[in-house]
Amino acid sequence: MTRRQREDPLAFVADRRLFGDLVDDDRFTSVYRVALASLHEHGARATMQAAVDGTLTRRAA
């Protein structure tokens, strides 16, 4: 799954049995992509801090 997710960032949430139509919600997927990219680039601690600070979602706009 990790390798597939690097190629397709939405691979995890594309499982409709688990997440339903969430993958079709552009408001969700734009922020999800930013968070996932931040996790890969900056790690969990920095990503969580950006989410708490409110700066993570600004990157998705």
Count: domains in the chain:
1
Residue 17 and residue 52: Cα distance in Å, rounded?
30
Tokens 């680039």 label which residue? 41
| pLDDT value, residue 13 | 95
Three-state SS annotation for 14-45:
CCHHHHCCHHHCHHHHHHHHHHHHHHHHHCHH
Instruction: Please tell me the pTM assigned to this model.
Output: 0.80
Residue 21 and residue 16: Cα distance in Å, rounded?
6
Can you give the length of the chain in residues?
A: 61
| pLDDT value, residue 4 | 72
Domain that holds residue 41: 2-60
Q: Which two tokens stand for residue 36?
A: 């996932």
pLDDT tens for the chain, 61 residues long, are 667 777 899 999 999 999 999 999 999 999 999 999 999 899 999 999 999 999 997 665 5
Residue 58 and residue 43: Cα distance in Å, rounded?
18
